[in-house]
Amino acid sequence: MSFRRRTLSLPYPLIAITHNGVRVMFAYVLRRLARAVVTVFAVVTAVFFLERLNGNPAAIMLSNTATPKQIATLSKALGFDRPLSVQYLSFVKGLLHGNFGTSLQSGTPALQLVLGRLPATLLLVLTGFIFGVALAMFCVLAIQLTGSHALRNGLLVAGQVRQAIPMFVFGVLLVLAFSVTLHWFPSQGEGSWKNLVLPALTVGTFEFALYLRFMDASFGEQSHQDYVRTAYAKGNAPHGVVLRHELRNVLLPILTIIGFNLGGLLGGSVIIETVFNWPGIGQLTVESVNTRDFPVVQASLLVASLAFVLVNIAVDLIYSVVDPRVRIR
C-alpha cells in the first residue's frame, strides 16, 4: 500500500491543500494511473493471445456447419489470416488510438457500444449502492442509539441470511414474489422507475448486509477506545458520543471498503443485469461472450477495470482529505 497510517497524534498539516501537497497528490494519481494502464494493457494482451491460442476466431464465430471456405473468407475479411505478430501490432496500434476494433455483431466501434451502456449500469449500481449504504447507516445508528440487543441481533441475522443468498438467486426470488405473484413491478428491461425497483433492491440489500456488518464491527472496535471513555467521562450523553465522536472514526475504514466494493460492483453487475435483462455493460458482456464478439468483451473488460481503478484512486484521495493523519507518499 502506498499509504502510511500515522499512529502518532501529531497535528499533521492537511497535505492536500498545501502547495507541495497538490504536487505530491498529482504525482500519486499519475503513478496509480500509469500502473493501472500497464496492468490493463497486460491483461488485454493476455486475452488477445489466449483468444488466438484457442483456435481461429473466425471458426469459433461461425457455427459448426460452416465450410472451410466460409471460414477462410471471414478470416481474410477480419484479418485473422495474417501472422500473429502483425495482428498483435495492429491491435496495439488500434488500442493507442482508443480503437478496440468494431463489434463483430453490429459493426459499431466496440468502445462506443460499451460506453453507450455505461449510464444504465451507473444508474442501477449507484441507486442500489446509495440505498444500501443509507439503510445500513440508519440501522447501525439505531442500534447504537437505542442500545437494543434484540434490534442488533435481529438486523445482523437478517444481514447474514441475505449474504448467504447469491445475487442472482435473490433477484429471481424477488421476481417470483413481486412480478409473478403480486404483479407489482415488471421483471425485465428498462423504462420507468418501476423497472429499477427490483434490480436496485437486489443490489441494495446486498450492500446493506455488507455495510451493516462492517459498520457494526467498526462501532464495536471504537467503543473500547480511550477517547470514547474520555468522552463519556466528560459527561457527554451517549447519543453525543456516538454521533460526534465515534461516527467519524467508524466511517474512515468504511471508505476503503467502499472503494473495493463500488469498483467491483461496476464490473460485477454482470449477474444482476442478466437476471433483469437490464441493458448495461454487464448484459452486453454476457451477450458478447455468447456470440464470441471478442472486441466488445475486451472493451468492456477495459472499461470495468478502469472504473474499478478510478474509484479506488478517488477513495484514496478522499481518505487523505478526510483523515489528515493519512499521508500520500
Partner 1 sequence: MNVLVTRTERKLAQWRSAGSAPPGAARPRRSRLRPATSVAIVLLFLVAVLVIVVPFLPSYNPYAINLSVALEPPFRSTAHLLGTDELGRDLLSRVSLATRISLLIVTFALMLNVLIGVSVGLTAGYYRGKADTVIMGSADLVLSFPILILLVTIVAVLGPSAQTIAVVLGCVFWVSYARVSRATALSLRSREYVISAVTQGASGWWVIRKHLLPQVVPQIAIMTSFDLGVLITVEASLSYLGLGIQPPTPSLGGMISDGQNYLQTSPWLCVLPSLVLLLLIGGVQFMSQRFTSEGQQSRGMTAT
> In terms of CB distance, is 11 or 55 closer to partner 1?
55
Nearer to partner 1, 18 or 39 (CB): 39
CB of 155 to partner 1, least distance (A): 12
Q: Pick the closer one to partner 1 by CB: 10 or 233.
A: 233
Site string for partner 1, 197-236 (x = CB under 8 A): ----------------------xxx-xx----x--xx-x-
Q: Helices 193-222 and 149-163 meet at what angle, rounded to 10? A: 130
> Please, are residues 222 and 246 in contact by the beta-carbon 8 Å criterion?
yes
Encoded one letter per residue, x for contact with partner 1 by CB under 8 A and - for no contact, window 284-323 reads: -xx--xx-x-x--xx-xx--xx-xxx--------------
Question: CB-wise, 292 or 325, nearer to partner 1?
Answer: 292
Least distance between partner 1 and beta carbon 206 (Å): 11
Q: Which of 180, 193, 226, 329 binds partner 1 (CB under 8 A)?
A: 180
DSSP 8-state assignment for residue 167: H
- CA geometry: angle at 78 spanning 72 and 81, to 5°? 50
Q: Is 69 in the site for partner 1 (CB under 8 A)?
A: no
Q: How far is CA 293 from CA 3, 134, 228, in A?
A: 40, 39, 57
Tell me what percent of the chain is helix, strand and coil, each rounded to the nearest 5.
75, 0, 20
**Could you tell me the CA-to-CA distances from 300 to 145, 153, 188, 192, 305 in Å, in that order?**
44, 41, 22, 26, 8
- 314 burial (CB, 10 Å; 0-12 / 13-18 / 19+) is middle
Which residues touch 95 (CB under 8 Å, ≥6 apart)? 41, 44
Grid cell at residue 16: 492536500
- What residues contact residue 243 under an 8 Å CB cut-off, 6+ apart? 141
Nearer Cβ to partner 1 (87/163): 163
Least CB distance to partner 1 at residue 324 (A): 26
What is the nearest approach in angstroms of partner 1 to the Cβ of residue 15? 24
Q: Does 30 bind partner 1 (CB under 8 A)?
A: no
Interaction site with partner 1 (CB under 8 A): 35-36, 39, 42-43, 47, 50-51, 54, 147, 149, 152, 160-161, 163-169, 172-173, 175-176, 180, 187, 219-221, 223-224, 229, 232-233, 235, 238, 263-264, 266-268, 270-271, 274-275, 282, 285-286, 289-290, 292, 294, 297-298, 300-301, 304-305, 307-309
